Amino acid sequence: MTHHDASTFAQTWGLVLFLVLFVGIVAYALWPGNRDKFNKASRAPLDEE
């Protein structure tokens, strides 16, 4: 395997990996079951406790 082959492989599968991770993170953030948790976290700095 040459440097060019390794570089092409890393660029291609690295892009696929980061795309899958990005879609997973966005799906987690927008999942309806997580709404209350994120709303609570967004109000935490404003709470007087």
pLDDT tens-digit map of 9-29: 999 999 999 999 999 999 999
> Is residue 48 one of the residues assigned to a domain?
no
pTM (predicted TM-score): 0.68
> Per the structure, how many domains does the chain have?
1
Residue 49 lies in a domain: no
Q: Which of 26, 29, 8, 6 is nearest to 18 (CA)?
A: 26
Separation of alpha carbons 4 and 7, rounded Å: 5
**Which long-range CB contacts under 8 A does 4-10 form with residues at least 24 apart?**
none
Is 15 contained in some domain?
yes
- Over residues 27-42, the pLDDT tens digits come to 999 999 999 999 999 9
Q: What's the domain range around 20?
A: 3-43
Structure tokens at 14: 């690295």
If one compares 49 and 35, the residue with the highest pLDDT of the two is 35
